[in-house]
Structure 1
Amino acid sequence: MAFDWSQFYEKQGGRGVRPTFETALAAWDGEPGFALDLGCGDGVETRALAERGWRVLAVDADPGVADRVVDGLAPDAAARVDVRSAAFETLGELPQAELVYAGFALPFCEPGRFPYLWADIRDALVPGGLFAGELFGPHDEWFGRPRMNFHDRRGVEGMLAGMDVLTLVEDDRRGMSFEGPKHWHVFHIVARA
């Protein structure tokens, strides 16, 4: 099934920053640095970073991403944002970053490309840098959908080996999605390199 991302972003209009993102920012004790927002979508987190002084590379495959992400930003904050309309897993080597944020985006990476993307994310993090994002588990109602990847807890913990895991919350419950009621199985992660 193909998702209509533009319609999804319209339905998300007015949302605040996601809790995993807030947890990562609270854990960051340095000056604002460089961040990657992979699958930046509606740009809420990118704008929050830019407004706090971070430089951000915001990446999303949706064609309308550039206008949507910088909408409403003051000129000085907008100047700190580089927006690319591309599938994040096709970027190749990622630039070094103090923060890599991928809110509900990584599960939509092709399964065969995911190990390479995850290796690129790990390589992009500077020492002390933070990863924040979500992965979907095998109990998720979307499990088995083509072009999506899923991981059990053991697999997620293995992916985080060698990192200081600040938050690993497993959410396995009924809830709502943009398509209606759904069973979610999500790992919310904040980890330090």
Structure 2
Amino acid sequence: MAFDWSRFYEQQGGRGVRPTFERALALRSDAPPGDAVDLGCGDGVETRALAESGWTVLATDSDAGVEERVLAGLPAEAAARVRVRRTSFEELGPLPETDLVYAGFALPFCEPGHFPYLWADIREALRPGGLVAGELFGPHDDWFGRPRMNFHDRAGVEGMLAGMEVLQLVEDDRRGMSFEGPKHWHVFHVIARA
């Protein structure tokens, strides 16, 4: 089943920044704004927050209208620090060197066969001390087995983070709501430092 991302973003209207993003920025509070990549930036909430705080941001998403959504309402000075690229994870290619890679609920939507390459690109792009933050889905998730999505158990997530300083690894395995209705979520909320 294909997701109607435009409908999803409309329903998300007015949301604040996600907790994992907020925590990642708090962990960098002693460092000045730098370069960031917002993978699967969607409605652009986190991209706008970064740009308004002085970060230079590469925002990527495969959905039509991403540039308009991301730049909507952004002051010209902040907008000048944002580059939006409409592309899928599979077509993204190498990432620029960066201080932060944020992927809020986006990484599970990379094709399983391509995901190891995307993860390697993320790790390679991080400067020393750089952070990766975002969510991965686990095998208890109701969406487990959907085509073109990837899922990881806890051991797999820990293996992906090997050699990094794990600052947060919270496993959320519970019933909740999604934009499609009731759903069992199995999510790993991750923040790690290169």
For Structure 1 versus Structure 2, the TM-score category normalised by the shorter chain is over 0.9
Alpha-carbon distance in structure 1 between the residues aligned to 2:90 and 2:154: 23
- Structure 1 equivalent of residue 134 of structure 2: 133
- Structure 2 residue 12 is matched with structure 1 residue 20: no
Residues 104-132 of structure 1: per-residue CA shift (max 9 Å, x gap):
00000000000000000000000000000
Could you say what secondary structure the match of 2:90 adopts?
helix
Q: CA deviation at 1:89?
A: 3.2
- What letter is aligned with 2:13? G
Query: Runs in 1 of length 4+ with deviation above 2 angstroms?
Result: none
Instruction: Report the number of matched residues.
Output: 193
For structure 1, list consecutive stretches of 5 or more residues without a partner in the other structure: none
- Structure 1 equivalent of residue 43 of structure 2: 42
Q: CA deviation at 1:4?
A: 0.6
Residues 14-57 of structure 1: per-residue CA shift (max 9 Å, x gap):
00000000010001131100000000000000000000000000
- Structure 2 equivalent of residue 5 of structure 1: 5
- What letter is aligned with 1:60? D
Q: How does 1:113-128 map to 2 (within 5 A)?
A: 113-128=114-129
- What letter is aligned with 1:172? D
Alpha-carbon distance in structure 1 between the residues aligned to 2:180 and 2:140: 17
Alpha-carbon distance in structure 2 between the residues aligned to 1:42 and 1:162: 32
Same amino acid, percent of matched pairs: 79
TM-score for the superposition, normalised by structure 1: 0.99
C-alpha RMSD of the superposition:
0.5
Q: CA deviation at 1:182?
A: 0.1
- What letter is aligned with 1:182? K
Q: CA deviation at 1:69?
A: 0.2
- Structure 2 equivalent of residue 189 of structure 1: 190
Q: CA deviation at 1:87?
A: 0.7
- What letter is aligned with 2:170? V
Q: How does 1:89-108 map to 2 (within 5 A)?
A: 89-108=90-109
Alpha-carbon distance in structure 1 between the residues aligned to 2:71 and 2:107: 22
Alpha-carbon distance in structure 2 between the residues aligned to 1:146 and 1:82: 30
- What letter is aligned with 1:66? E
- What letter is aligned with 1:104? F
- What letter is aligned with 2:18? R
- Structure 2 equivalent of residue 79 of structure 1: 80
Alpha-carbon distance in structure 2 between the residues aligned to 1:48 and 1:134: 19
Alpha-carbon distance in structure 2 between the residues aligned to 1:89 and 1:99: 20
Residues 46-102 of structure 1: per-residue CA shift (max 9 Å, x gap):
000000000000000001000000101110000000001111331111100000000
Could you say what secondary structure the match of 2:127 adopts?
strand
- Structure 2 residue 59 is matched with structure 1 residue 58: yes
Alpha-carbon distance in structure 1 between the residues aligned to 2:130 and 2:61: 22
- What letter is aligned with 1:85? R
TM-score for the superposition, normalised by structure 2: 0.99
- Structure 1 equivalent of residue 148 of structure 2: 147
